Structure 1
């Protein structure tokens, strides 16, 4: 049996390397060169070239003019099939979070440069509801949901102070950015760990001025940890854990 297909325990090494390659590419917003990928995989450059060629043949990655590798359209197709599964897992936790915080709870995902709400739960006891609905879209750089998603990414020099603070604290808080008087708090999720596809997402709650963020923060972080574990992943930030 050739070395590059030798099973490691119950794992097929060639497939495992391909999945690890996709994970490294996904974690690199500026793309990766073949040499950089080889270093991350700890393999010869020739093996890295074969891995990239295999993934490129089925559109899981593509190469830019400078040779850097980015995720391809086949990954987007897998992500689109992941969202219905995500909704079914998140919905009961989101309903619970809405009732506990007496606020509107939401699940948002990154689509291009925007955050889009794909699931919303309303509290039955909330007095005034915020106009946040499924399909609500806003730039990742504005609103708690988008900032939380950015905080879940690898640190970058151009990160705003809000993103840095959210990465440090485990959640983002914004006031009046999307709706006058609205207060939002959101935490990033890691939904797939080392799986083939990683979906960038955040959960949070939003209400008017009476939202108690000190009360909501631990409830939100517990909810984020439960969802991540239920989906087979891990919390996106080291300090995002049950409390």
Structure 2
């Protein structure tokens, strides 16, 4: 907080109140080490936040959606929740699974949240599905968030999880999802995103 106050040339108490207000609105979040970074809400309202992520991810998500015939997405963690920040739907098929930007769910439910948790250091009391996702490099869930929906997600591996945005890439479809193809596509897309972003 002292550094923020110094940079803004304001009193520490004022800096604390500003950060607390931004935090209450989800615009910033504090890491366990006390660092302050932009929050998921900022992603939903600002196209300028992480422009490199958006420009790199869009064509990769489009290709992933069309390859798998599913809805492709990028999700990020904030606190105990997982927020959808980008969505691309496939161009084929009659029916599509709708997944809205701004949707959120607990990190411990659904493929996206579990994939993000699997990229964190292992802890003693973590659910088995998180441990399995860490070993496999992806998570697959059925009916966690919506009956009949199948989700596959893989974390975007970063070199320094303390300062980087915790995120994953995935697809969601109904029971007819070709899971081997989805797993391959999701893992490849997550790796390409990490490489292109240089994270």
Normalising by structure 2, we get a TM-score of: 0.77
Cα distance per residue 1:63-82 (max 9 Å; x no partner): xxxxxx72333x337x9675
Q: 1:113 to 1:195 in 2, by over 3 A?
A: closer
Residue 194 of structure 1 deviates from its aligned partner by 4.7
Task: Report the secondary structure of 1:71's partner residue.
Answer: coil
Given candidates 130, 136, 146, the residue that maps to 2:97 is 130
Is 1:200 paired with 2:145?
Answer: no
Question: Cα distance, 1:151 vs. partner?
Answer: 0.4
**How is 1:184-223 mapped onto 2 (pairs within 5 angstroms)?**
184-191=151-158, 193-194=159-160, 197-223=163-189
Counterpart residue number, 2:63:
96
Report the CA distance between 1:128 and its aligned residue. Answer: 1.8
Q: Contact 1:104–1:207 (CA<8 Å) still a contact in 2? A: yes
1:167 is paired with a residue whose SS is helix
Q: Which residue of 1 aligns with 2:38?
A: 76
1:111/1:225 Cα in 2 relative to 1: closer, same or farther (>3 Å)?
same
* Larger gyration radius, structure 1 or structure 2: 1
Deviation at 1:86, TM superposition (A): 1.4
Q: CA distance change for structure 1 residues 173 and 195 in 2, over 3 Å: closer, same or farther?
A: closer
* Higher RCO (C-alpha 8 Å, min separation 6): 2
Counterpart residue number, 1:13 = none
Cα RMSD for the two superposed structures: 2.3
Q: Shift in Å at residue 115 of structure 1?
A: 0.5
1:115-126 maps to which residues of 2 (within 5 A)?
Answer: 115-126=82-93
Q: How does 1:31-180 map to 2 (within 5 A)?
A: 57-59=2-4, 70-73=33-36, 75-76=37-38, 82-180=49-147
